[in-house]
Structure 1
Amino acid sequence: MTQEVLICGSMAFDTIAVFDGRFKEHILADRIHMLSVSFLVPQMRREFGGCAGNIAYNLKMLGGAPVPVATIGEDAVDYLDRFKEMGIETRHLRVVPQTFTAQCFITTDLDDNQIAAFHPGAMEHSADNEVNAQNAAWAIVAPDSKAGMMAHVEKLAKTQTSVMFDLGQAMPLFNGEELLEVIKQVDALALNDYEASVVEERTGQSIQELANNLQAIVVTRGCEGADLYTAQGKQSIAPVPATEIVDPTGCGDAHRAGLLFGLTQGMGWEKACMLGNVLGSIKIASRGPQNHVFTRDHIEALLQKTYNQSL
């Protein structure tokens, strides 16, 4: 029986519009105090997103058993239907009445500049969502409302389930003291290189010092691969070259899914990091966080080619 993985985090809709011009030609520096602009956006798409949703999508495609834990609005019917069709467990997806699902509205110009607005909606109620880790081998607390992340860490710390903490976009919400309190209660951290430097600055401890008291800390470095920190020291995991670079949105979530799948399959941290790198390289070649597809044979081939490893 495939072991379940609890995925606490956000589920959201991303609406991306493309302006066929440049913002700088319409936003005048001497008129910024009275800004009023409108952009014609002939291209627009809506994506399924949110960290919990993205991780669950990738983990399911690997053959795992994700159980997303999130609060969603009354407008999430199609998201629920999508997950049910994929066979993703939805028992911990709580619909909050009279709210919208969290959503981000992004307008991009020809220079890849972005103007974004984020509505948290139902995500603000995530702390009230119950977590049952009875059948879970691992759990991850991914970006969500701060109250929700703190509540889920505290609840999961009282169980026998191993817990990974993914700071991500919630980084500005936590001070050093709060980060240290969280780190005391979890088994592993997943960070990108910028987040790792902020954690060091705010806690006053190096990533290696923090890793000495955890199972592991994984620091992703984009096209440079990842670094794995354990009590035995630091190990660099080589990158997997992407066929093309299209969109980095959701690459971190894909990497987390690879990590979690590897750990539930008994691969160990090094090999799980390799699998994470493979998924990140696949995701970046596709636009949107949940549009890429892959097979186990494809994953196997990339692992063999890059690391001489197999699933």
Structure 2
Amino acid sequence: MTALICGSYAFDHIMVFPDRFKNHILPDKIHMLNVSFLVPDMRREFGGCAGNIAYTLNLLGGDVTPMATIGSDFAPYAAWMDKCGITREYVTEIETSYTGQAFITTDQDDNQITAFHPGAMSDSHNNKVTDAKGVSIGIVSPDGRDGMIEHARQFKEAGIPFIFDPGQGMPMFGEDDLKLFLEQATWLTVNDYEMQMFLDKTGMSPAEVAAQVEALIITRGGEGAEIVTKDKNIMIPVVIAKEIKDPTGCGDAFRSGLLYGLMNDLDWEITGRIASLLGSIKIEQHGTQNHNFTMDEFKTRFQSEFNMNF
């Protein structure tokens, strides 16, 4: 099976402020905020939801085809994709734009201030799902608003089952948008905060949401994940990371596991555990695409963590 992964590609600029934001922000001056933070440490990482999902699914041996729009500055990322053996056939360059850029500053209390420039993502609707051949499953992950709407519609019209993953794109959509996504999608995956936003925006109950898809997958951070199908609720345990270095991108790694399980007709108990382990492996490394493993190594750790095989 080939997975078409629709979503963003971005450069993540990750900076560390060796102090606390609260020490430099005057509460009575919030209305006229003008602050500058010295950040002696900075990393530039390859990121974006489609990029991250494709990277981890590729490590598992999945047949991945990302679809995204990128800018004229993409060359280093393109070289990385080539090194990883990930196709760029449907990664479209917008010459007049930058690739999406995230600027993330973290203080000593793990508070974050993030600025995001969407750049070429705003043109993602110009890519067409039907241009990709041989696709059997898909995912609509955070991207340009129009792109997410169009790609969900195109998956549905083409009869290709897909995961709807609104993620940080949730605020872009209103009640009607989200209800339409739910009608079109085969599976919905959200974290617990996004789930509450979904319910608040639509006025639906969790049971009503779950009834419209084959499975509703809710991640709950350190409490693991819940998979709700029409037949049962399945609780997926969290895998305790060997070392917590960077949670950024854990959700994308988790979604790679969902796709892998669906592509290989695995049951939800196994699929959820694969996803959970991938999230843990990611958190053990800085950046969203610096974790690495062979399939044999992954299966060995899976057996060790869960006392089962797949």
What TM bracket, shorter-length normalisation?
over 0.9
Question: What are the superposed Cα offsets for residues 182-222 of structure 1, whole Å, 9 maximum, x if unpaired?
Answer: 11111000111111122222222233322223211111111
| 3-state secondary structure, aligned to 1:90 | coil
The answer to whether residue 69 in structure 2 is matched with residue 106 in structure 1 is no
Given the alignment of the two structures, is residue 212 of structure 1 paired with residue 211 of structure 2, yes or no?
Answer: yes
Q: Which amino acid aligns with 1:191?
A: V
Counterpart CA distance in 2 for 1:136 and 1:22 is 48
- Read off the aligned partner of 1:221 and give its amino acid letter: R
- Inter-partner Cα distance in structure 2 for 1:186 and 1:19: 41
SS in structure 2 opposite 1:75?
A: coil
Q: Answer yes or no: is the 8 Å Cα contact 1:207–1:229 preserved in 2.
A: no
1:267 Cα shift? 1.0
Whole-Å separation in 1 of the counterparts to 2:202 and 2:162 = 20
TM-score by length of 1: 0.95
How far apart are 1:125 and its partner, in Å? 0.6
CA contact (8 A) 1:133 1:161 kept: no
State how 1:117-128 maps to structure 2 within 5 Å: 117-128=115-126
Q: Share of identical aligned residues, percent?
A: 48
In structure 2, what is the equivalent of residue 284 of structure 1? 283
Q: CA shift at 1:133, angstroms?
A: 4.6
Q: Residues 119-138 of structure 1: matches in 2 within 5 Å?
A: 119-131=117-129, 132-138=131-137
Instruction: Report the aligned-residue RMSD.
Output: 1.5
Task: Give the Cα separation in 2 of the matches to 1:302 and 1:223.
Answer: 19
Q: CA deviation at 1:265?
A: 1.3
The CA distance in 2 between the partners of 1:252 and 1:310, in whole Å, is 23
Aligned to 2:47: 49
Return the alpha-carbon distance in structure 2 between the equivalents of residues 34 and 205 of structure 1: 39
Match status 1:305 vs 2:304: yes
Q: What residue number does 1:223 align with?
A: 222
Report what 1:181 is aligned to.
180
Alignment: residue pair count = 309
The structural deviation recorded for 1:303 is 2.2
The alignment partner of 2:72 has SS state of: coil
Partner residue in 2 for 1:242: 241
The residue identity in structure 1 corresponding to 2:219 is T
The unaligned stretches of length 5 or more in structure 2 are: none
**Which stretch shifts more, 137-146 or 297-306?**
297-306
Distance 2:185 2:45 in 1: 31
For residues 150-177 of structure 1, what are the alpha-carbon distances to aligned partners after superposition, in whole Å with 9 as ceiling and x for unaligned?
Answer: 0100111111321110010011111222
| Residue number in structure 1 paired with 2:201 | 202
CA deviations over 1:119-143 (Å, ceiling 9, x no partner) = 1110111111122353122100001
In the TM superposition, residue 293 of structure 1 has moved relative to its aligned partner by: 1.4
Tell whether the 8 Å contact from 2:90 to 2:132 is kept in structure 1 after alignment. no
SS in 2 for 1:158: helix
Where 2:147 maps in the other structure, the secondary structure is helix
- Rounded Cα–Cα distance in structure 2 between residues aligned with 1:115 and 1:99: 24
Question: CA 1:304/1:208 → structure 2, altered by over 3 Å: closer, same or farther?
Answer: farther
